[in-house]
Amino acid sequence: MANNIIILGAGESGVGAAILAQHLGHSVLVSDGGKIADKYKLELSDFEIAWEEHGHSLDRILKADLIVKSPGIPEKAAIMQQVREANIPVISEIEWAYRHAEHCKIVAITGTNGKSTTTALIHHICITAGLDAALVGNIGVSFARQVALAPKPYYIVEVSSFQLDDIVHFKPDVAILLNITEDHLDRYNYQMEKYVHSKFQIIKNLDPSNYFIYSADDPVTTTYLPQYFNNQTNPFPFSMKKQVTQGAFIKDQEMLIKMREEDVKMSIHDFALKGKHNQNNTMAAGIAATALDIRKEKIREAVQTFESLDHRLQPVLTIKGVEYINDSKATNINGTWFALESIATPVVLILGGVDKGNDYSLIADLVAEKAKAIICLGTDNSKLLDFFTGKVPQIHETNNMEAAVLAAYNIAQKGDTVLLSPACASFDLFLNYEDRGHQFAKAVKNL
């Protein structure tokens, strides 16, 4: 008998989960408290999947055998409180996909920063090596959609803390935890320990056949690791500060990966990705590739040929000797710190958006060192203005992208960099970080 499956949320994650449920022969309803995008309505209708928007049919939802919750729905939402009271099993889309992904290898990547870049780099290494691998999760298509419509022998999965919150059995063959810094604390009652717990969920089901890759330099990861680490798990740390016996480290401008008597060496000057943060990402990706038995020559080739992601330190144009860089994907403090750290020229920095509990003191010294001006871009810039006024030579307030770019243009001089690296979410003025990045690029090109 078909189970009654309810999918809460109709974004890419929810629609992918629904397609998989339909593919498996279950009775499916997709329910979204807001508006469903037209492209997803059309797709759900094409697959003959029932859907509803602007509210939830409680009578049907509370009779569900299983609920697959989209990552954008917080636990404090009224519908979730009712579901929890009814004791209905709730899982995430990655858990749902994992249960039906057969005869495959899974590499899962999480972390506050760098996970999209690292996920894409591992996928690029796999493709370079001739592996039939899919790029899924927070990047690309949903994991469940891929499992339903085009199953692969390898899945490279970007995983957020929200997706990890509702896993039960999810067990990747290779689990990567890049770093943990303050982010999304509004979803975790402003308790860092709850956010940390979500990130460490990625290793809770690992066994001796799996690999756990993590940063030995990240203070939060190493502080909490003893609480979560399973002694049966194979640990492979990466470090820029010390040599490790297995894993990866950088010494004398060279990356060395050590695993199973195998050594992979490569000069950091050959990395396509620049900046110290990307050296960490490249080490993590290199260990993962070695765990998948990819030959060292293919790892080197892929690391040299990888192209950076859209909206992540992406050059847009150089105008009158001023370089304009789109780093819209920097939606938290650490992302902006990495961006500033990687730029050697004076910076006109565009900051702002929906603040998620940011502590701007974490970038205060770097801003003071690098930024000649800050352009605040948001509907409420008061926190930025209060903190940075007096800490940079100039600070200006704007509430649309055209004004922000024009203000930066009027300040920047030959040899400077105008950097959009907002450290905030985008939902006050934009559809998402991609929309924010596209609007930045358009405004620059219209100068």
- What pLDDT is stored for residue 184 in this prediction? 66
DSSP 425: B
Q: Which is more confident, 192 or 12?
A: 12
Q: What are phi and psi of 211, to 5 degrees?
A: -125, 140
The separation between CA 373 and the C-alpha centre of its own chain, rounded to angstroms, equals 28
For the chain, residues classed under CATH 3.90.190.20 are 314-445
- What pLDDT is stored for residue 187 in this prediction? 77
The fraction of the chain above a pLDDT of 70, given in percent, is 99
Residue 300 reports pLDDT greater than 60: yes
Residue 171 reports pLDDT greater than 80: yes
Q: Which is more confident, 285 or 338?
A: 285
Mean pLDDT, residues 24-46 taken together: 95
Q: Which is more confident, 248 or 231?
A: 248
Query: Of 164-168, 178-182, 288-292, 384-388, where does mean pLDDT reach its minimum?
Result: 178-182
Picking from 170, 186, 180, the residue whose alpha carbon sits closest to that of residue 74 is 186
Q: Which is more confident, 72 or 131?
A: 131
Highest mean pLDDT among 101-110, 132-141, 350-359: 101-110
Assign 193 a pLDDT band (cuts: 50, 70, 90): confident
Average pLDDT, rounded, for the chain: 93
- What pLDDT is stored for residue 347 in this prediction? 97
Assign 362 a pLDDT band (cuts: 50, 70, 90): confident
Element (H, E) at 208: none
The second-level CATH assignment, the architecture, of 4-88 is 3-Layer(aba) Sandwich (3.40)
A 10 A CB-CB count for 414 gives: 9
Tell me how far apart the alpha carbons of residues 398 and 405 are, in angstroms, rounded to a whole number: 9
Assign 1 a pLDDT band (cuts: 50, 70, 90): very low
- What pLDDT is stored for residue 280 in this prediction? 94
For the chain, residues classed under CATH 3.40.1190.10 are 95-305
Q: Are 124 and 282 in contact (CB under 8 A)?
A: no
Mean pLDDT, residues 250-260 taken together: 93
- What pLDDT is stored for residue 311 in this prediction? 83
Residue 220 reports pLDDT greater than 80: yes
Q: Which CATH class is domain 95-305?
A: alpha beta
The fraction of the chain above a pLDDT of 90, given in percent, is 79
Mean pLDDT, residues 239-247 taken together: 94
The separation between CA 66 and the C-alpha centre of its own chain, rounded to angstroms, equals 27
For the chain, residues classed under CATH 3.40.50.720 are 4-88
Picking from 38, 37, 29, 47, the residue whose alpha carbon sits closest to that of residue 148 is 47
Mean pLDDT, residues 212-237 taken together: 90
Tell me how far apart the alpha carbons of residues 192 and 199 are, in angstroms, rounded to a whole number: 11
Residue 386 reports pLDDT greater than 90: yes
Tell me which amino acid residue 276 is. Answer: K
Q: Which residues contact 174 (CB under 8 A, 6 or more apart)?
A: 105, 106, 107, 108, 210, 211, 213, 288, 291, 292
CA atoms 76, 82, 85, 87: torsion sign: negative
The second-level CATH assignment, the architecture, of 314-445 is Alpha-Beta Complex (3.90)
Tell me how far apart the alpha carbons of residues 270 and 275 are, in angstroms, rounded to a whole number: 12
Mean pLDDT, residues 125-149 taken together: 95
- What pLDDT is stored for residue 113 in this prediction? 84
pTM: 0.79
Picking from 393, 351, 400, the residue whose alpha carbon sits closest to that of residue 376 is 351
- What pLDDT is stored for residue 356 in this prediction? 79
Tell me which amino acid residue 425 is. Answer: A
